[in-house]
Structure 1
Amino acid sequence: MFIFVVNKNSGKGNTLKVWDEVQLYLQSKKIDYQVLVTGSKEDVLQLRTLIKNVHTKISGVIALGGDGTSQEVINQLVGTEYPFSVIPTGSGNDFARARGVDRNLRREVERIIGGRQEKIDLMKVNNRYCLTVIGLGFDGMVAQVTNQMRFKKWFGSLSYILSVFKVLRTYKPSSVRLTIDGEYIHYDKVWLIAIANYPYYGGGMKICPYATSQDGLVDICIVHGLSRWKLLLLFPSVFKGGHVKQKGVNMIQGREIIVNSDKQLIIHGDGEIIGSTPITITIEKNALNIIS
């Protein structure tokens, strides 16, 4: 038995069409499944009730949507042994990108049904779990503007890039105090801090190229001390991870990160706004079972 959580509003609005294809394949192979069609974060809360009412072994819980949908689903699965996977239909799809999800829909469904499993780490903020990247400052503001963009679903990952240029015109860097595993570090003129469990965010930007979800650590990218013009010149190199070698970019690893700042900074997790500073972020080893 597989459970599919289908976000009908995800991405360019083609999720239901993708689900129709998946459903036809499942039926042709006589695979048992149930489906929860959602249109909001609140709808995903019904997943726990659905799982409770299933009286056969659950082989996997699969999200059809983007990174935001995946985040909502995994927050219902933490603490269980039910394995998770995603069929990406969102605008960013950075978790799927990092996992090497097959673009061929049939092959991807076959891989999911194959059922090979492994455990991954998750980042935790208060009582919220995140899969990919938590971003603060300029990063958080860009995520907020992107999510408010009227035509986000039509632009896909380009919407994030458009928001970068919009926010860059007016955003002012701030002073930030980090405590990483008990060690205090101060940075002035901080543009952004990205705390990563996987390399990608923003629809394919390789913000922390060496981040992995199986080492019990997060990778931290701090961009600071740059002029607006130099930040703009740095931006293209993020797509291949070349920014990590540039002046004004510091890379650190840690298990617990406490962030304080001279002004409140917006925070996103997996592209969804989750709060503002001050904040504590921890990594939980082997917190989620996934279909690999």
Structure 2
Amino acid sequence: MSIRDALIVANPAARNGETRTLIPVAADILRAHGWSVEVAVTTSAEHAVETAAAGGSDGRLLVALGGDGLLARVAEGAIRSDALVAPLPGGRGCDFIRAVGGSRILDEAASALPFATERRVDVGYAGATPFLGVATVGYDSRANDHANQAPGWLPGGLVYAYGGARALLETRSTSITMTTDGRSRTFAGWSVAIGNSGHYGAGMKVNPDADLDDGELDVTTVEGLPRWKYPMLLPRYFKGTHIDGVDIRAARGREIEVSAPVGQRVYADGDIVGRTPMSFTVRQQALRILV
């Protein structure tokens, strides 16, 4: 790989502030390989987008050091200039890195970067907001609310389990209207998960058949599931064996719309991106990444 100039775009708040201490580690490793490295510490999601858009316009590699939310915002900026993006593990979940088979140990990931291979991947859109992993409505979004407020001492792998347990106490099945490539249906359900990579919650394969370059989004709906069964699903989510075609169903399409219920929060890559009704679309191979 010929690139020797990199801009590390870092979220200092990731991992409850721990990522701030990882910035010099990543920079030193790349410099040891002969790279010229600059660092930009973000102050907001918008700042991350603008930093990436400006920083990638001169051909530099954009190195995203943070969680999946930061990576999505760096990708949003990179798409504007067709810049190359390299994700490094700096968040608690690192689900996109899991999806592409990268290391979640910073030293290993940064040391492998100079020998990585470029790949183009799809980008999902929740309304106008790009996402790389999963967008959610319903129970999963409520679980995200609580996961984002989880205690700092809780290990990353348990954050979503904590959020899910809290959400289970207050979420109710409701009438959901969803349209997939023009085919509409209404059902009583708990949640809709729309996946690009299909990974979320620090390793769960909510959309187990999702493919990052097939030009489609995968959809998993939790429908007629009794409340008492929910806690027993967690191991199956990590294995990707939870879809049974009855209580939990899978679909796929290029354009998904969730039109009801109205006013529910929509999360994508762990961040709130709006409320229903919302359309979800995909741009095939819109992002260049190193894996």
> Which TM-score applies when normalising by structure 2?
0.91
Aligned counterpart, 1:200: 199
- Greater shift, 12-21 or 210-219, is seen at 12-21
Secondary structure class of the residue paired with 1:14: helix
The 5-angstrom pairing of residues 89-128 of structure 1 reads 89-128=90-129
Change in Cα spacing, 1:66 to 1:48, as seen in structure 2 (3 Å) is: closer
Q: Report if aligned partners of 1:123, 1:129 keep a CA contact under 8 Å in 2.
A: yes
Residue aligning to 1:156: 156
Deviation at 1:231, TM superposition (A): 2.4
2: CA distance, partners of 1:267 / 1:156: 22
Structure 1 residues 102 and 49: CA distance shift in structure 2, 3 A: closer
Note if 1:256 corresponds to 2:255. Answer: yes
Q: Distance in 1 between matches of 2:79 and 2:119?
A: 14
Q: Distance in 2 between matches of 1:275 and 1:269?
A: 9
Q: Distance in 1 between matches of 2:155 and 2:234?
A: 19
1:139 has 2:140 as partner: yes
The code of the aligned residue for 2:176 comes to: V
Cα distance in structure 2, aligned partners of 1:25 and 1:247: 49
CA distance in 1, matches of 2:35, 2:187: 54
CA distance in 2, matches of 1:199, 1:126: 18
Q: Name stretches of at least 5 consecutive residues in structure 2 with no aligned partner.
A: none
Residues 38-47 or 242-251, more deviating: 38-47
1:277 aligns with 2:276: yes
> TM-score normalized by structure 1?
0.91
Deviation at 1:91? Answer: 1.3
Tell me the residue number matched to 2:6.
2
In structure 2, how many angstroms separate the alpha carbons of the residues matched to 1:43 and 1:262? Answer: 32
State the match for 2:213 in structure 1.
Answer: 214
SS of aligned partner of 1:187: strand
2:76 maps to a residue whose letter is: N
> Aligned runs of 1:52-67 on 2, under 5 Å?
57-58=59-60, 60-67=61-68
Rounded to whole Å, the distance in 2 between the matches of 1:100 and 1:176 is 34
Aligned residue identity for 1:3? L
- For residue 82 of structure 1, report the CA deviation from its aligned partner: 1.0
AA at the equivalent of 1:178: M
The corresponding residue for 1:11 is 15
Q: Deviations over 1:190-230 (max 9, x none)?
A: 11111111131011111111101110111110111122112
Give the deviation of 1:41 after TM superposition.
Answer: 2.0
> CA separation in 1, counterparts of 2:108 and 2:261?
49
Taking a change above 3 Å as real, the CA distance of residues 125 and 276 of structure 1, as seen in their structure-2 partners, is same
1:45 CA drift (Å)? 4.1
Q: 1:153 to 1:84 in 2, by over 3 A?
A: farther
Do the aligned residues in 1 keep the contact of 2:262 with 2:275 (CA within 8 Å)?
no
Percent identity, please. 29
Residue 287 of structure 2: aligned partner: 288
For residues 265 and 185 of structure 1, what CA distance do their matches in structure 2 show? 18
Aligned partner of residue 129 in structure 1, secondary structure: strand
In 2: Cα distance, 1:92 partner to 1:103 partner: 9
State the Cα distance separating 1:125 from its structure 2 match: 1.9
Quote how far apart the aligned CAs of 1:48 are.
4.8
Residue 33 of structure 1 aligns to which amino acid in structure 2?
Answer: V
Partner SS, residue 178 of structure 1: strand
Contact 1:79 1:287 in 2 (8 A): no
Instruction: State the match for 1:165 in structure 2.
Output: 165
TM-fit CA distance, 1:246: 6.1
CA distance 1:48–1:26, shift in 2 (3 Å): closer
Provide the secondary structure at the position in 2 that maps to 1:101: coil
Question: What stretches of structure 1 move > 3 A for 4+ residues in a row?
Answer: 103-107, 152-155
Aligned Cα root-mean-square deviation (Å): 2.0
Return closer, same or farther for 1:232/1:108 CA change in 2, 3 Å cut-off. closer
Check whether the contact 1:12–1:154 (CA below 8 A) recurs between aligned residues: no
CA contact (8 A) 1:193 1:223 kept: yes
CA, structure 1 residues 260+84, in 2 after alignment: closer, same or farther (shift >3 Å)?
same
